[in-house]
Amino acid sequence: MFDKENMLFLVVYIITFIFGLPANIFALYAFVKKVQQKATPVDVLLIGLTVSDLLFLVFLPIRMKEAIDHMEWNMPYFLCPLTGIIFYGTIYNSSLYLTAISVERYFGVAFPIKYKLNRKPLHAVVGSVVIWTISLAQCSIVFIMHYSDDKHNSSHVHCYEDFCDDQLKVLLPFRLQQFVLLFCVPLLICCFCYINFIRILYQLPNINPRRRYRAIGLAFGTMVVFLVCFGPYNISHLIGHITNESPKWRNYAVLTSTLNTCLDPFIYYFSSSALRGTFTQILNRFSSKLQCPSCSVYQRNTAQTLELEERTQSTNDNLDM
């Protein structure tokens, strides 16, 4: 029999899986297709972010099983830290990738000529390796806590939830530095980059208004992900350090972070013309089969917009969102 808490977790996990999996698979297809034609640093970063989200979604059914079992861990012992490092690691992957994308966008408009001459997809590949290394290294704390006191951990039926005093002395300060380095610093960088990104775009006289709207959408979507998805989880680190305990409501804070994989595709849409183009092609094929008049109108308008973007692409390559 499900109680309200377990039902909430299960419903959120199912919704995230149903909507997030196809959206991210579609995005990965569009980005890989684009990279095969002409790779740019932002494409590489978006592929890394999409792969991170898909990895999270692949492991999400394990969390569903945990919710079905009333948040008790009835699965093999080794899956607990493995799932934890994937679950928490992808949270920090997302925040760091979104920060890297904001920096890439800002450099593209603030230093258009110099950055265009020096930007290479290889730089984004190296950046992706650094991001994954930092995320996995930070989340190694899950393994450390899980195996630091086998006698204590084996006496509890919950995964990465009950900690002894000795474990808390290590865990709480570690979480605090995660709050500062992997949430506060990236958030400040994103705010700086997107505020200046939008300001510069509005100062340029010949920029298509659609580009300005997409810039606002990109900045707004990123801030929503940081504050709504990552905010509660990271604030729980700060509160835990102040109260000297792991907050009981932390599971709910982590729950909001799972929605990140559903919101990231919106950021992809505002970030990549390749994704918008692929989406339009699929919509055109679908509308032609349905012979939908309203869809046809949208198809013509979108085709005209894409044609205009293609004409201006050569002179506005750094502004391609």
CATH code of the domain in which 25 resides: 1.20.1070.10
Per-residue model confidence as pLDDT tens digits over 239-262: 999 999 888 888 888 888 898 888
CB 90 within 8 A of CB 52: yes
pLDDT digits (tens, 9 = 90+) for 45-104: 999 999 999 999 999 999 999 888 888 888 888 888 899 899 899 999 999 999 999 999
Average pLDDT over residues 223-244: 92
Alpha-carbon gap, residue 305 to 78, rounded angstroms: 52
Judged against a pLDDT cut of 80, whether residue 275 lies above it is answered with no
Residues 58, 231, 263, 82, Cα dihedral to 10°: -10
pLDDT tens by residue, 290-299 = 655 555 444 5
- Considering 1-10, 157-166, 175-184, the range whose residues carry the highest mean pLDDT is 175-184
Tell me what percent of the residues of the chain surpass a pLDDT of 90.
35
Q: Name the H helices within 69-120.
A: 79-110, 112-118
Using CA atoms, how far apart are residues 167 and 149, in angstroms rounded to an integer?
A: 8
pTM for the whole structure: 0.84
Structure-token pair, residue 265: 């595709």
Exposed / middle / buried, residue 160 (Cβ in 10 Å: 0-12, 13-18, 19+): buried
Domain range holding 84? 4-319
CA distances to 223, 257, 276 from 260, rounded to whole Å, are: 12, 5, 20
235 touches 69 (CB < 8 A): no
Model confidence at 114, pLDDT cuts 50, 70, 90, reads: confident
Number of folded domains that form the chain? 1
